[in-house]
Amino acid sequence: MVMNRTIDPDTLAAISNRAGFYPVILVFLDWPSGPVRRHSNPGDITFGGETFEGVGEFGQISLPNEATGLASDDATVGLVGLGDDLDDYHEDAIRGRAGRIWFGAVTERSGNTLVGDPFQIFAGTMARMRDREVFIGGSSQRGVTITLSPGPSQRAFAAPYHSDEDQRIRFPLDTAGRLIRRNLEEAKRLR
């Protein structure tokens, strides 16, 4: 499977700048009690008609490699500096609810003015949440790690058989499938 992304030209110009750029990560979690929209800088960012609140920094973001196979790895989002009211959220049924991650650029370090639109780098569903404790500057800070599974599963949509006709429907000018058809006809003849 080939990942195909449409990147806003302004965002592409910013992240292609050899002098550097100022990155921002945006996260959406479809939490049972209401949508959670956060980003990795201070302040608020409006994107897609929605407001994403700044958390200053995510403790950790881990994304799977893009691969051509059918199996994909999980992504994780770690948030630190959360208060004790976090205990109330551990009882929420988050499994199977949507989660998305975008990457973008802002105009200044720790800024909240986007340069173009961020592009999606992960989409899936929340799988689990666990407590984490991080030591920063000699003090302990509480947080969570939320695991996102890619979804829907690529295996759910994989066809066990792919024909020249299937290929031509999606890619009308592609003629490589005709060789597959000939091989299949030849295999049938040899049986």
pLDDT reported for residue 135: 72
pLDDT reported for residue 4: 47
Task: Band the pLDDT of 154: cuts 50, 70, 90.
Answer: very low
The H or E element that residue 157 is part of is helix 154-157
Q: Which residue, 67, 183, 90, is CA-closest to 142? A: 90
Radius of gyration of the chain (CA): 22
Q: What is the pTM for the complete model shown?
A: 0.68
pLDDT reported for residue 31: 86
CA 30/CA 36 separation, integer angstroms? 6
Spatial neighbors of 172 by CB under 8 A, at least 6 apart, are none
pLDDT reported for residue 109: 93
Task: Band the pLDDT of 158: cuts 50, 70, 90.
Answer: very low
Q: What residues does each domain of the chain span?
A: 9-158, 159-191
CA 60/CA 171 separation, integer angstroms? 39
pLDDT reported for residue 51: 96
Q: Higher model confidence: residue 151 or residue 38?
A: 38
Enter the tokens of residue 188: 């049938």
How many CB atoms lie under 10 A from the CB of residue 48? 12
Least confident stretch, 10-19, 22-31, 161-170 = 161-170
Which residue in the block uniquely carries the two structure tokens 């609810």? 97
